Structure 1
Amino acid sequence: MFTENTSELHIGSIVELSIEESLPTGYWLSVSSEQRLFLPIENCPQATTDKVKVFITVDKNGQKIADAQLPKSELDKATVLTAKDATDTGAFFDWGTSRDLYVPQKWQESPVNPGMDYLVVPFVDEKSQRIVGCTKLKHFYPETNEWLKPKQTVSLQVFAKTDLGYKMLIDESTLGLLFHSDVHVALRIGDKLQGSIKEIRDDGKINLSIGPQSKDTRKSLAQAILDDLEAHDGLSTLTDKSSPEEIYEHFKVSKAAYKKALGNLFRNKKVLLEKGIVKLNK
């Protein structure tokens, strides 16, 4: 005798289950010898095999159900999602599942505009036991990290823009701030770039800069410039006069970092600098 007790299935998990029974309204999936889970037909229009991989979620009554349309990301992890709609109470994001991911207004870093991308953390709300989203990353990621040190090279991802600068997710683990004065390229929410720790403030919070600061990383940039010249017959039109946007698009570093690397190559007689052209000094 089947029961609908699905306590061993956690909301937000992805599992592969066997189809026990097909109905006009959906499918009963076998969880164990005595337990089963319902997969509504709208969550899986056509089941073509005996087994189906499903996402565990809840229906409008709070009951666990299956969804064969899997999410684009894990729970409790920030991911770039596109806003589909916004109301006075919250916004809806395309998460890949049958039902859009709802982000209540209280969990929004800033007002959400449909069609725009945002960094969203899906999570299970403890009170309602429903999956919702949050764009306030400070609820999931710390603003201090004792393992991060000045000049350390890190990966960055933009998640919000403020009057001071851009709020960044550092190495998918910590939050930091990139001041407008240190930004020389156009940035959008969700953009990923290479950066470094500019300083650790007295309160432990982290200020950032674009591009490398460490000696090893500067050497890597110099080598990347030489490799690019080798690949293009020893010539490049990307000079110290090029726009920050052009430089960032090509090497993912700031104009200041590129100029410094190019200057070092020139002083070491690795390249020749002519009007509008950089030449490999063979």
Structure 2
Amino acid sequence: MIELGKKQELTVAKLVDFGVYLGETENAGEKETVLLPKKQVPEETQKGDKISVFIYKDSSDRLIATVREPKITLGEIAVLRVAQVTRIGAFLDWGLEKDLFLPYKQQTKKLHENEEVLVALYIDKSSRLCATMKVYHYLRTDSPYGEGDTVTGVVYEISDNFGVFVAVDDKYSAMIPRQEAQGNYKPGDELTCRVTAVREDGKLTLSAKKKAYMQIYEDAESVYEIIQEFDGELPFDDKADPKIIQREFGLSKNAFKRAVGHLLKENKIEIKNGKISIR
């Protein structure tokens, strides 16, 4: 069976002026073969020879074979360059003559030409090969990482209910839980995170924060810099509404209080009349 979107070793069933027809056997019928265009046929090819090819569809929506190496195959994930953006979707460079279509509904953010995006390859309802940025179901769950490891990945989707979904090494399934996802994240962000757990299903739970005793120094430095941006005085103290703290600092109220406490111990700030000021 000739399979769309996959690499296969097929047999030359018929030679014609414009190429060769390939099938599972050299006696395959016309409906069981696919064309490999003449310019891609190896020299001195004969009937019965085996050729490794990739199967996709041409501009007329017909199955066609190529000896070129695609950058992604069916069910796989890869980072591809955006070649063109249109009103109905984007077209990606995947190493073949015809660019790969990424439908608008399968995008998780606004795209621009020449940027690189993480996508999976699937077959749509019209039996066409398409790309999707919604890669959750295509990510692997057999990562080599364990609790405490530091990993890098890219944000591919954000859920208000669950958290920030991350593709570690562009292929492993991971998530920063909603309660841990302090800060402003968007699809395409590259993150360095700490593995806090490996679930039974193999998916990774991440924290973008370092261990508490290390994170407090980083948070304190960030808070101090933002107070400076307020001309050295915040119009509120550590009893402020958590929503205000999240908006201004990207921190939970508890993390903010710890950072403020650290700055107080270092005598860098003071709290007076409901305001935080630099000393």
Structure 1 205/19 Cα, relative in aligned 2: closer, same or farther at 3 Å?
closer
Structure 2: give runs of 5+ residues left out of the alignment. Answer: 212-217, 219-279
Q: C-alpha offsets along residues 209-258 of structure 1, whole Å, 9 cap, x if unaligned?
A: 267x6xxxxxxxxxxxxxxxxxxxxxxxxxx9xxxxxxxxxxxxxxxxxx
**Superposed CA offset, 1:77-98 (max 9, x none):** 2211111001000101111123
Question: Equivalent residues in 2 for 1:104-119 (5 A)?
Answer: 104-119=103-118
**1:33-91 Cα shifts (integer Å, max 9, x gaps):** 224321134xx445235343210123345442212222113322221111100100010
Whether the 8 Å contact between 2:19 and 2:41 is mirrored in structure 1 is no
**What pairs up with 1:3-14 in 2 under 5 angstroms?**
8-14=1-7
Give the match for residue 75 of structure 1: 74
| CA drift at 1:179 | 4.0
Match of 1:157 among 127, 137, 153: 153
| Cα deviation digits, residues 88-131 of structure 1 (max 9, x gap) | 00101111123211100000111211100100111112x21111
Q: Do 1:119 and 1:190's aligned partners in 2 also have CA atoms closer than 8 Å?
A: no
Superposition deviation, residue 13 in structure 1:
1.7
1:148 and 1:67, CA in 2 relative to 1: closer, same or farther beyond 3 A? closer
Indicate the SS of the match to 2:111.
coil
Distance 1:118 1:107 in 2: 12
TM-score by length of 2: 0.55
Alpha carbon RMSD of aligned pairs, Å?
Answer: 4.1
Match among 31, 38, 48 for residue 43 of structure 2: 48
Contact residue 198 and residue 208 of structure 1 kept, 8 A: no
Equivalent in the alignment of 2:133: 135
Partners of 1:17 and 1:74 lie apart in 2 by 17
* Ranges in structure 1 where 5+ consecutive residues have no aligned partner: 1-7, 214-239, 241-282
Identity within the alignment, %: 22
Look up the match of 1:28.
21
Secondary structure at the aligned position of 1:72 is classed as: coil
Larger C-alpha radius of gyration, 1 or 2?
2
SS of the equivalent of 1:136 reads: coil
Q: 1:176: how far off?
A: 1.4
For 1:139 and 1:207, locate their aligned partners in 2 and report how far apart those are by CA, in whole Å: 18
- 1:178-209 deviation per Cα after TM superposition (whole angstroms, max 9, x unaligned): 846599xxx99485856323799xxx994422
**Secondary structure in 1 aligned to 2:54?**
strand
Alpha-carbon contact 1:159-1:169 (below 8 Å) kept: yes
* Residue pairs, 1:159-198, within 5 angstroms: 159-160=155-156, 167-170=165-168, 172-177=171-176, 179=181, 181=183, 189=188, 195-197=194-196
Runs of 4+ residues over 6 Å off in structure 1: 147-150, 161-166
AA matched with 1:130: R
